[in-house]
Amino acid sequence: MSGYQHAPATRRVLDSLVPVVCPPEAVELGLVADIVDHVGLTMGALPGRFRGGLIMGLRTYDLGALIWPPGRLRPAHRLAPALAARYFDTWLHGPTPIHKQLALGIRQLIALAHYEQPVIQERMGYRPAQWIEQVKRRRLELYADDIERHARSLIEPDPLPGIAPHPRARTRTKGVA
């Protein structure tokens, strides 16, 4: 991980893109800052040159609105919501593959961040942690013997055919993750 943090200019554009990409609940529930923070975490895990390209692309996207006639000399982060959505669409559908790839990339990062918010998952009834706990317990209740048997087999000698157990073979005891 790179310890990446958004610069204020990057954050501003991302803030303005959340209402464009996400369903209205993102703004209604006051999630914009959390979503943009999450985008930062993902960007931190991307390859450096990829992240650099994204940051430059976001800057170009922001300033590109200055010469987009309906934008009336305002950068993207200052466009009213309906106009911001239209401007984003112009990138998503061309004019070059680079515009399109950048818009797709941004949309993916923001959509991912939105649906990773615990409050959104809760509203959807998506509670995987509960399910995991439930089945984990049931597995141990039903199958403890088989589980133990296999764990033991993992450290039993089982030399390959024709290979004598080696006199130098050392063993340790604490080995299971």
Partner 1 sequence: MVANARPALRQDSRPDGVYTRDDHHGDSVLDADVVIVGSGAGGAALAAELAEGGLDVVVLEEGRYWSTRDFTANASQMIRQMYRDGGATMALGSPPVLYQEGRAVGGSTVVNGGMSWRTPEKILDRWWREAGLDGIRAADMEPYFERVERRIHVRTQDPESIGRDNQLLKIGADAKGWKVIPNLRNQVHCPGSNNCAFGCPTGAKQSALVSYVPRALHFGARLYSDVRVERITRSGKRATGVVGHVVRADGGRGHRLTVRAKLVVSACGAIHSPALLDRSGFRSPSGMVGKNLSLHPNVKLVAIFDEDVRGWEGVHQAYQVREFQDEGLLFAAVNIPPSIIAMTTSHTGRELGELMADYDKMVIAGMLCEDTNTGAVRTVAGQPQAFYQLSDFDADKLKRGCALLAEMMFEAGAKRIMLPFALGDHAGELRGPDDVRRIFADPVPKSSMEVVTVHMMGTARMGSDRTRAVTDGFGLVHDVDRLMVCDASLFPTPIGVNPMETIQALATRAAHHVLENPRRFS
Which parts of this chain interact with partner 1 (CB under 8 A)? 1-3, 19-25, 38, 41-42, 44-47, 50, 85, 88, 97, 107-109, 111-116, 121, 124-126, 128-129, 131-132, 135-136, 138-139, 142-143, 146-147, 150, 153-155, 157-163, 165-177
- Amino acid in position 6: H
Closer CB to partner 1, 67 or 156, in the complex? 156
CA–CA gap between residue 20 and residue 33 (Å, rounded) = 14
CA–CA gap between residue 41 and residue 11 (Å, rounded) = 13
Location of structure tokens 């390209």: 53
Contacts of 103 (CB under 8 A, 6+ apart): 61, 88, 91, 92
Minimum distance of partner 1 from residue 73's CB (angstroms) = 25
Minimum distance of partner 1 from residue 174's CB (angstroms) = 5
Closer CB to partner 1, 8 or 130, in the complex? 130
Minimum distance of partner 1 from residue 132's CB (angstroms) = 5
Return the structure tokens found at 77. Answer: 């982060």
Closer CB to partner 1, 42 or 60, in the complex? 42
Closer CB to partner 1, 63 or 144, in the complex? 144
Using CA atoms in the order 48, 103, 83, 94, what is the torsion angle rounded to 10 degrees?
Answer: 130
Minimum distance of partner 1 from residue 53's CB (angstroms) = 11
Contacts of 169 (CB under 8 A, 6+ apart): none
